[in-house]
Amino acid sequence: MQLDLVKAQDRATLAAYCEVWSRLVAANREIRKNGLVVRNTSVKKDGTESVWFTKNPAVAIVEQAETRLRQYANDFGLTPAGERNVSRRDDDRDPDEANPFAGPAADEDSG
């Protein structure tokens, strides 16, 4: 039995969602390992060392990934607003047709 929960045209978007999720997980791992702020060093021509601190670049990756995940979640109806949009598109369909878990209609004459 095939549930057809994802339309063929949505597969690429779902794959992109998974890629962004993977990026988010990796960036969060980097932040847990090295912190929100990272230490940078360079050695000048005279041999002295210069040290400064900057925001971990993984923070920007997390922020961008979270934004994209919210957009994808909305597209797939995984947010309240997105759910309303998806349900509006399905209003034209028979409720049982829109529900992949609805079984075949019971034959009322056989009762």
**What is the Cα 76 distance to its own chain's centre?**
10
Q: Scanning the structure block, which residue is given the tokens 């794959």?
A: 15
Q: In this predicted model, which residue has the larger pLDDT, 75 or 97?
A: 75
Instruction: Give the pLDDT confidence score for residue 102 in this predicted structure.
Output: 67
Instruction: Give the pLDDT confidence score for residue 63 in this predicted structure.
Output: 98
Is residue 54, in this structure, part of any structural domain at all? yes
Count the domains in the chain.
Answer: 1
Is residue 24, in this structure, part of any structural domain at all? yes
Instruction: Give the pLDDT confidence score for residue 93 in this predicted structure.
Output: 60
Is residue 108, in this structure, part of any structural domain at all? no
Q: What percent of the chain has pLDDT over 70?
A: 73
- For residue 106, pLDDT over 90 is answered with no
Is residue 5, in this structure, part of any structural domain at all? no
Is residue 38, in this structure, part of any structural domain at all? yes
Is residue 51, in this structure, part of any structural domain at all? yes
Is residue 53, in this structure, part of any structural domain at all? yes
Q: What is the mean pLDDT of the chain?
A: 84
pTM confidence score = 0.65
Residues 59/32, Cβ–Cβ less than 8 Å? no
CA distances to 61, 95, 108 from 104, in Å: 46, 12, 12
Is residue 105, in this structure, part of any structural domain at all? no
Instruction: Give the pLDDT confidence score for residue 92 in this predicted structure.
Output: 58
Domain residues for 45? 19-99
Q: In this predicted model, which residue has the larger pLDDT, 42 or 78?
A: 42
